[in-house]
Amino acid sequence: MSRFAISEVAFDIAPLREQLLGHDAGAYASFEGWVRNQNEGRAVQGLFYESYRALAETEGQAIVNEALQRFAITRAACVHRTGELALGDLAVWVGVSAGHRGPAFEACRWIIDEVKSRVPIWKHERYAQGSSTWLHPDP
């Protein structure tokens, strides 16, 4: 299994988590991003994620590999959805296993932060008022 993947369809977390299990790991931290019904005060109806897939997978893989160097962790993985998502849908998942909980939490947080800042994926939000927009936040 690749340590970072883009998924164009809804994906199941259980088998991804399973790959991180191991008798050498005592701690597992995970993060999930779900589609929320509002963003910065605007009511959201749904959204669309687009990626530059080849580069997103290269960059995401680089992030997870870097996490494995920077933190005392055992395994790590991340999957990001693209395409149409409804409220409550899973947008991104990060899982990290480690000997101890400190590095598991720190690496999990670091990976999602890096993914959000570096991986070429863009969110297009549709609002209840009928408008929609691409989100291009200031870095």
Partner 1 sequence: MSVTVLYFASLRDAAGVDRERLPLPASLDALYAELSSRHGFSLPAAKLRVAVDGAFARWDSPLHDGCEIAFIPPVSGG
Q: Alpha-carbon Rg of the chain, whole angstroms?
A: 16
The minimum distance between CB 34 and partner 1, in angstroms, equals 11
Tell me, residue by residue from 2 to 31, as one string, x for binding to partner 1 by CB under 8 A and - for no binding. Answer: ------------------------------
Q: Name the segment binding partner 1 (CB under 8 A); options: 11-19, 67-75, 102-110, 117-125.
A: 117-125
Per CB under 8 A, 34 contacts its own copies? yes
84 binds its own copies (CB under 8 A): no
28 binds, among partner 1, its own copies, none (CB under 5 to 8 A by kind): its own copies
Rounded Cα distance, 67 and 29, in Å: 14
Which residue from 25, 37, 133 is spatially nearest to 85, judged by alpha carbons?
Answer: 37
Q: Is 115 an interacting residue with respect to its own copies (CB under 8 A)?
A: no
Q: Which residues pair with 124 in a beta bridge?
A: 48, 134
The answer to whether residue 25 forms part of the interface with its own copies (CB under 8 A) is: yes
Residue 26 main-chain phi, psi, to 5 deg: -110, -10
CA distance 51 to 88: 20
Distances (CA, A) of 46 to 33, 51, 84, 111: 14, 17, 8, 25
Nearest Cα neighbor of 73 from 32, 109, 45, 41 is 109
Binding mask 65-84 toward partner 1 (x if CB under 8 A, else -) reads: ---------------x----
* 137 scored as a contact of partner 1 (CB under 8 A): yes
Q: Which residues bind its own copies (CB under 8 A)?
A: 14, 21-38, 87-88, 97, 99, 101, 104-105, 108-109, 112
